[in-house]
Amino acid sequence: MRIPFTEFIKDNLVLFDGAIGTELYNKGVFINSCYDELNLTRPQLIQELHKAYVEAGADVIETNTFGANRPKLQKFGLEDKVYDINFKGASLAREVAGDEIYVAGSIGPLKERLEPWGPLSEEEAKAIFLEQARALIDGGVDLIILETFSDLHLIQQAILSIKENFDIPVIAQMTIGNDGNSLFGTRPEFFAAKMQQWGADVVGINCSVGPKPMLDALEKMNEVVNIPISIMPNAGTPVDVDGRNIYLASADYFAEYTRRFIQAGASVVGGCCGTNPSFIREMRKSIQSIQPRQQIAKEIKVVEEERRKPAIPTCKKSSFAEKICNHEFVTSVEIVPPRGANAELAIHQAIEMKAAGVDAINIPDGPRALSRMGASYLSLMIQEKANMEVILHYACRDRNLLGMVGDLLGAYAAGIKNILLITGDPPKMGTYPDATAVFDVDSIGLTNVVNYLNSGIDLGGNVIPHPTGFYTGVGVNPGAIDLDYEIRRFEWKVKAGAEYAITQPVFDNDIFFEFLKRIEQFRIPILAGVWPLVSVQNAEFMNNEVPGASVPEHIMKRMHATHSKEEARETGLEIARETIREIKSEIAGVQISMPFGNIKYPLEVLKEVL
């Protein structure tokens, strides 16, 4: 008869089982299937795997529920079966475990990112974890294991959710890269100490890497905690062999590292991706005569919230920022990156704009699936060759979160000071119809990221030696169909650190003024987008096919009343100038678009203010 897990671990080295996912894949389960649903559809297969690990010598087997949370199950249309899948997963493992073996309820990270990087709130995350944990506990698990987390903030919500509602042991495991830090860059000694502080009974690491990087991280963790440590590596790094990921580390190699883990302070060991019952069998042989090293907790300097202070005052971040701070009316013009590798025309246009008195060039990040030059590269060329300040549009569409951080650090180091953060539209049908989007975070999350970088803190909470100093802008749509939602998002962007905003094209002044009234409590400098209408067809397109760019009826009538292309173009330019005259007193500046790449149009409009 088993004693409580917290008592068992005091006097014993604990051996967990190995991989479930890769073993199911090796047994022919299609990789795009919902592995968690197999608890309901193929229970015998799941129990056979549990039995193999018990026979190999595991003290603890994990439930097949790593991805059985509501957001991940929703992908398969199974969100209404959260309880059933988790309860069944726990029941299957409990039946195999009997009275001697422990069952750990497996809970993995969520699909969506948690604030401040993503839209998921702390309370929403807690509710999701609580729902899964309740079903696992009802199904008979002895403990909960939180595994393969990259975001320390997210695993905090998981730990707190379970500890605040249940009296059950919790193992909390982060995952690391080959550098020994979490995938967000958090040091192992930092996240181990934090997880103990939040109430975890065991802290550790699993997945992503093989034994060697985990041994190095274990040594650092052992210096700062006085609770058991768990280590569950992959079977090395997989290699592609005829389209299949094959893990090359052997069971003997794992057994040797098991001894090293225990000698370095681990009390709990097991395997993750690529391991199988033969690994657990060899690990059992290794630990039978080994005693764990005693843990001695030491203090560690932790990066606290109050250390995140802006390195550069807003008004000193760029010349553009200084002008806005001094209440100068600023002007910018949009230059779309060219197709192909020649930027001479764009540079020439920027030189003309500078000569005309324009303050900055906006470089948008186009969504169309075409071969266009990257916005950051064009920005750098214009700054260097035209000696013109730029505003780089940076979209969340094309990079994952870590890639964005690398881009932003590089852009600032290369001289980009002003940035406009946008979520970005999905790739439209162009010459590459199969182009895909990433959307790891949205513009609110990315604004938080930049705010951290500006404050000298990376995603993992570590101090970076040379902070960025971006003048951070965001987009906003005064004519959004769901204006309440748009305003809520705008408020979140301001709270995340936005310092100015550029709107989508303004055609209806009444709508624009109403928008300004509604954001008065969290107002930041607003640059109004202005699109010169250059033809009747252009006006119809903007009114009917550009979301949020509603063209009022009286303007459409004026455009339709013209009798020639020339008259339509002049009428459209005059409408743009009238718009600026009417809203100028309420805004910090304007951003003029360049329809069809024709420099004449913005220059004609800007005669009004230059």
Q: Give the pLDDT of residue 307.
A: 53
What pLDDT digit, counting tens, does each position of 201-210 carry?
999 999 989 9
298 lies in a domain?
no
375, burial (CB in 10 Å: exposed 0-12, middle 13-18, buried 19+):
buried
Q: What is the pLDDT of residue 268?
A: 97
- Confidence at residue 158, expressed as pLDDT on a 0 to 100 scale: 98
Per run of 10 residues, the mean pLDDT along the chain (length 610 residues) is: 93 94 86 92 96 97 97 95 98 97 97 83 96 98 97 96 98 94 89 96 95 94 94 82 68 91 94 94 86 52 50 92 96 92 94 95 73 88 95 83 88 96 61 45 87 88 89 94 92 94 93 95 95 89 76 89 90 92 95 91 83
Q: Does residue 535 sit within a domain?
A: no
Structure confidence at residue 40 (pLDDT): 97
pLDDT of residue 426: 52
Q: How far apart are CA 105 and CA 87, in angstroms?
A: 10
Per-residue confidence (pLDDT) for residue 306, from 0 to 100? 42
Among 528, 548, 568, the domain boundary falls at: 528
Q: Which residues pair with 527 in a beta bridge?
A: 502, 589
pLDDT per position as a tens digit, 444-484: 889 999 999 999 988 877 888 899 999 999 999 998 889 99
Q: Are residues 197 and 283 in the same domain?
A: yes
Do 72 and 23 belong together in one domain?
yes
Name the E strands within 80-184. Answer: 102-107, 143-149, 170-174
Cβ(25)–Cβ(31) below 8 Å: yes
Residue 218: CB atoms within 10 A of its CB come to 24
Residues 280 and 323 in one domain: no
Contact by Cβ (8 Å): 186, 220: no
- Quick one: tokens of 211? 């034994």
Q: CA–CA separation, 87 vs 65, rounded Å?
A: 9
Classified as helix, coil or strand, 214 is helix
For residues 155 and 116, membership in a common domain is answered with yes
Residue 161 is assigned to a structural domain of this protein = yes
CATH code of the domain containing 39: 3.20.20.330
Cβ atoms 509, 484 nearer than 8 A: no
Distance from C-alpha of 459 to C-alpha of 163, rounded to nearest angstrom: 26
What integer pLDDT is reported at residue 31 of this predicted model? 82
SS3 per-residue string spanning 69-106: CHHHHHCCCCHHHHHHHHHHHHHHHHHHHCCCCEEEEE
**Domain check: are 369 and 228 in the same one?**
no
Same structural domain for residues 354 and 269? no
Query: Residue 431 phi/psi, 5° resolution?
Result: -75, -10
Would you say residue 594 lies in a domain?
Answer: no
pLDDT at 294: 55
Please check whether residue 187 is in contact with residue 216, taking contact to mean a CB–CB distance below 8 angstroms. Answer: no
Is 378 a domain residue?
A: yes
Task: With respect to residue 449, please indicate whether it lies within any of the assigned structural domains.
Answer: yes
What pLDDT, on the 0 to 100 scale, is given for residue 550? 78
CATH code of the domain containing 485: 3.20.20.220
Residues 101 and 51 in one domain: yes
Separation of alpha carbons 519 and 497, rounded Å: 15
* 593 DSSP 8-state letter: -
Same domain, 390 and 269: no
In a domain, 295, yes or no: no
Say if residue 148 is in the same domain as residue 28. yes
Alpha-carbon separation of residue 62 from 126, 237, 466, 482 (angstroms): 21, 22, 43, 45
Q: For CA atoms 468, 469, 471, 474, give the dihedral sign.
A: positive
In the listed set 528, 543, 568, which residue is the last one of a domain according to the structure? Answer: 528
Strands (E), 507-567: 526-530
Q: Structural domain of residue 334, as residue ranges?
A: 312-528
Beta-carbon contacts of residue 196 (< 8 Å; ≥ 6 apart): 203, 225, 226, 227
Cα 467 to the center of its chain, rounded Å = 20
In angstroms, the first-to-last Cα distance of the chain is 85
Which whole-number Å values give the CA distances from 219 to 175, 189, 261, in the listed order? 15, 9, 9
Is 475 found in the same domain as 344?
yes
Is residue 354 domain-shared with residue 499, that is, in the same domain?
A: yes
What tokens were used for 182? 């979490």
Same domain, 269 and 317: no
State the total domains in the chain: 2
pLDDT for residue 30: 86
Among 477, 511, 528, the domain-final residue is: 528
Q: What is the pLDDT of residues 249-268, one digit of tens each?
A: 889 999 899 999 999 999 99
pTM recorded for the entire structure: 0.78
Provide the phi-psi class of 13: left if phi over 0, else alpha when psi is between -120 and 50, else beta.
Answer: beta
User: To which residue do tokens 């506990």 refer?
Assistant: 137
Rounded Cα distance between 270 and 275, Å, is 9
Q: Does residue 537 belong to any structural domain of this protein?
A: no
